[in-house]
Copies of this chain bind each other. A is one copy, B any other.
């Protein structure tokens, strides 16, 4: 087990006072304009992870809209983000009693100092704490062995110095039944299941759920594909405020065709509640 997961709770990072909170904090320059220095700690092959970026945009919208929590957030990824300065511009589209809708774009700068748009997002926010507690779900938590029987990056060979830093900040323990790709024997099934948390032990909140849906190795690996699977569009529904403790994340791909695939994620909390659902469309290089 990772040190963070076995450490007493008194030494864990807290929501609001953790690396994830500091690295996603936006500074309001003026209404609708937020600055951030994108951290170099959340990269994959040199590009900033799409889930981390979604959390940054989600926090800028939470600072703009009258409701606190992203209920549904749809992101279209335009160009790859790099660590460094960025600006997030937000707009309130509509304000209602129980839901409000906003738009946000993240920009960085080219060599001439011109703004280049990285991502554009539409989102509807509400208040998760105000929802009735009815649950009639037919979904069931993913079948995953206990955390100590699953495997993380530190169980494999030392990682290559390839510009991927995000693994240092995550607690990921993958179900060995979905880990064939790491042994050169992909199952051919588009499934992966994992325990998930932040390495410093910070519990999950709606913003870290935006990270959780896009932080596992791609299902494409279990389909026998290699290389980067860039996201075109990612939509996340946050359905419930997560209970403390590690999450379980299940991702599946049913349709790999024409050089694209969809990847669906479900995130379950320690109280067996389905707390987030997502779907993304991603490009693949077929080989």
Contacts and interface: CB of A to CB of B under 8 A. Distances in A.
Interface of A: 71-72, 74, 76, 78-79, 93-94, 99, 101, 103, 117, 120-124, 128, 131-139, 189-190, 223, 232-233, 235, 237, 239-240, 253-260, 262, 273-274, 277, 279, 281, 286
Given A94-B79, A235-B74, A258 B138 contact: no
A274 B257 contact: yes
12 contacts: A72-B281, A76-B122, A93-B117, A124-B232, A135-B258, A136-B223, A137-B255, A137-B257, A138-B190, A239-B257, A240-B258, A255-B274
Given A101-B78, A117-B94, A258-B132, A189 B72 contact: no
A112 B81 CA distance: 44
A74 B76 contact: yes
A258 B131 contact: yes
Given A101-B120, A131-B258, A240-B258, A233 B136 contact: no
A255 B134 CA distance: 11
A91 to B, nearest CB: 10
Contacts of A286: 132, 134
A87 B26 CA distance: 35
B132 A72 contact: no
A253 B146 CA distance: 28
Contact of A239 (B74, B232, B260, B274): B260
Given A74-B233, A235-B74, A279-B235, A258 B101 contact: no
Given A138-B189, A138-B255, 18 more contacts: A71-B260, A72-B76, A72-B232, A101-B120, A103-B120, A124-B281, A131-B260, A133-B258, A134-B257, A135-B258, A136-B223, A137-B257, A138-B253, A139-B255, A233-B237, A235-B279, A237-B260, A240-B258
Nearest to A74: B74
A12 B277 CA distance: 41
A117 to B, nearest CB: 7
Contacts of A235: 74, 233, 235, 279
A99 B232 contact: yes
A82 to B, nearest CB: 17
Contacts of A262: 237, 277
Contacts of A256: 134-137
A238 to B, nearest CB: 10
B117 A232 contact: no
B233 A255 contact: no
Counting chain B CB atoms within 10 Å of each CB, the highest count among A94, A133, A273 belongs to A94
